[in-house]
Structure 1
Amino acid sequence: MNNANNKPSAPIQSIQRAAAILRSFTEAEPELGVSELSRRLNLHKSTVSRMIATLQAEGLIDQNPESGKYRLGIGLVGLAGVALGRLDARTVAQPHLSDLVAASQETVNVTALDGNECVNIERMASPQPIQYIGWIGRRSPLHCTASGKLILAHMTPEERTAVLPQPLRQYTDKTITDGYQLTRQLNQICQQKYAIVHEEYEIGFSSMAGPLYNHQGNLLATVSISGPTYRLNDAVFQEQLPMLLATCQKISAELGFLPMPTHTMR
């Protein structure tokens, strides 16, 4: 989805090296010294030492006081928890998706944020001969999809700025590319807690998304109903909205979410 105005950046060497250090620790070798890391990664010992000191300061690596060797830090647990949370959303959602597909007769996807895109982490296809193809692993932009807009609506303005491309890419003649107009729409989505999109990303297809919350009340993923626009107009979406939101509430409850009367998006 890159264009001339949004070229991929070159890899940052220091980050690549830090990632290589973290990946060097395994279950078989949970502790390693600077010399061993230096040999394995073909890096100077002083470089490894500086990077380990930085990772240690961030809580991503710590040192065994008895052996003097290094090991993965407890700070990685929090990061892993976020990733595992998405897998939990997929596992918990699976039993509920078939009922939603049966009721809507359309394709249902579970989608999560990954970098500056949303990615499908679970899917159940429509039984209709003409259907929306949203395979697991498919990536989509945030500003012109129902799941993406719902994710953006949960973000602060600063978080949105960090993930949205500038300028906003126009995929169809219905794509919103004006930042002010998009912000107004996201504010509305924030209030109603669902998003509907007609042909903003792909001509002929529409989608509606509802939120999945974790035990802390944070957005973990979305559940969307997608299909051809000729079957999914606003009237049909309004008929299907209660069952979509009811499904999201059931899944969120199994993820530990306890809704409060005053719960709002950030």
Structure 2
Amino acid sequence: MSEQPRSGTQAVDRALHVLNCFAGTDPELSVSELAQRARLPVSTTHRLAQALVRGGLLEQDLGTDRYRVGSGLADLAGPALARLGFDTVAQAGIEAVAPHVYALAAGIRITVNLNVADRAESVSVLQARPPVWFCANQVQTARRPLYASAAGRAMLAFAPGDRMPAPVRQSLHGVRRTGFAVEEIDAAEPVRSVAVPILSADRQVWGALSVQARSVRLNDELVRTVVPAMRQLAGRLSPYFHAEAAAHTSE
């Protein structure tokens, strides 16, 4: 009788390992890639992945058999999103804002991230891929330090500065002047990230929209094209946030 609880716990632990494989920069993984990352046999990984698909936590592309995060995780994320300032989103579901973000991604043909501040980190709570022109360089890390990321700096630049070190505040002057932040990411293929803040009518910052791609593609000319579209969407999304989200950027 004592073995069954341990076996059940082991299955849950393994399923969590499979889910955690998607915390990196790869939006879709094959069963063999999942098995390698989770350090599990392929047969066990396949069984767990199929169970997660049935539960809505993963989805499987019927054309490629690759797995991706399922929409069921959005429902489970509701309470956490509420703590980060998404009251309306937590009540109506993240699908309330997702169509707007996906529409932008389709329009500019780059993955768009919706970010909020959680203490000293910028957290991506929604990542919308375009239907075409997608590549792994467009997938940003789920959590980044506020001071080091474009999304974080876009939020910090418009946050209350009374608790912010003066040198940091001064370094954000360019972001406040232009209305967007740029980050150059050192990689085998250099990557550029661009972010705009989500502001209320009284200029409180509630979040940020960000995109990233290879620097040769997201060049200055393309930045001048996508930033106005990102700003327009940021204005549409601001009603979904409340002031608590802004508080996190100044603590």
- Structure 2 unaligned segments of length 5 or more: list them: 1-79, 244-249
Q: Name 2:216's counterpart in structure 1.
A: 230
From 198, 207, 210, the counterpart of 1:212 = 198
Residue of structure 1 equivalent to 2:85:
85
- Alpha-carbon distance in structure 1 between the residues aligned to 2:201 and 2:140: 28
Cα displacement string for residues 86-111 of structure 1 (whole angstroms, at most 9, x for unaligned residues): 35465543121111111111111011
Contact kept? 1:145, 1:200, Cα under 8 Å: no
Q: Which residue of 1 aligns with 2:143?
A: 139
AA at the equivalent of 1:128: W
- CA deviations 1:242-263 (Å, max 9, x no partner) are 1111111122256599xxxxxx
Contact 1:106 1:227 in 2 (8 A): yes
Q: Distance in 2 between matches of 1:190 and 1:129?
A: 30
What is the one-letter code of the residue matched to 2:155? I
Q: In structure 2, do the counterparts of structure 1 residues 255 and 140 end up closer, same or farther at CA, with 3 Å as the change threshold?
A: closer
5 Å matches for 1:1-266? 83=83, 85-86=85-86, 88=88, 92-126=96-130, 127-131=132-136, 132-134=138-140, 138-161=142-165, 180=167, 183-199=169-185, 204-214=190-200, 217-253=203-239
Number of equivalenced pairs: 159
Give distance in 1, aligned partners of 2:193 and 2:87: 23
Query: Do the aligned partners of residues 201 and 119 (structure 1) sit closer, same or farther apart at CA in structure 2, a change above 3 Å counting?
Result: farther
Shift in Å, 1:147: 0.4
Gap change, CA 1:199 and 1:256, over 3 Å in 2: closer
Q: TM-score, normalised by structure 1?
A: 0.51
Q: Secondary structure at the match of 1:159?
A: coil
Task: For residue 198 of structure 1, give the secondary structure of its aligned residue in structure 2.
Answer: strand
1:101–1:108 Cα contact (<8 Å) kept = yes
1:22 corresponding residue in structure 2? none
The answer to which of 148-157 and 101-110 deviates more is 148-157
Structure 1 residue 213: deviation in Å?
A: 2.9
The CA distance in 2 between the partners of 1:102 and 1:238, in whole Å, is 17
Q: What is the alpha-carbon root mean square deviation over aligned residues? A: 3.3
Instruction: Report percent identity of matched pairs.
Output: 20
- Residues 100-109 or 151-160, more deviating: 151-160
Q: Which has the higher contact order (CA 8 A, sep 6+)?
A: 2
Write the deviation string for residues 63-104 of structure 1: whole angstroms up to 9, x where unpaired: xxxxxxxxxxxxxxxxx9972633546554312111111111
CA deviation map 1:107-162 (0-9, x unaligned): 11011111211111111124335232236xx110122221011111123444334x
Q: How far did residue 193 of structure 1 move?
A: 2.3
Bigger CA radius of gyration: 1
For residues 92 and 218 of structure 1, do their structure 2 counterparts lie closer, same or farther at Cα, with a shift above 3 Å needed? Answer: farther
**1:213 & 1:232 partners in 2: Cα distance?**
24
Any idea what SS the aligned residue of 1:128 has? Answer: coil
Higher helix share: 2
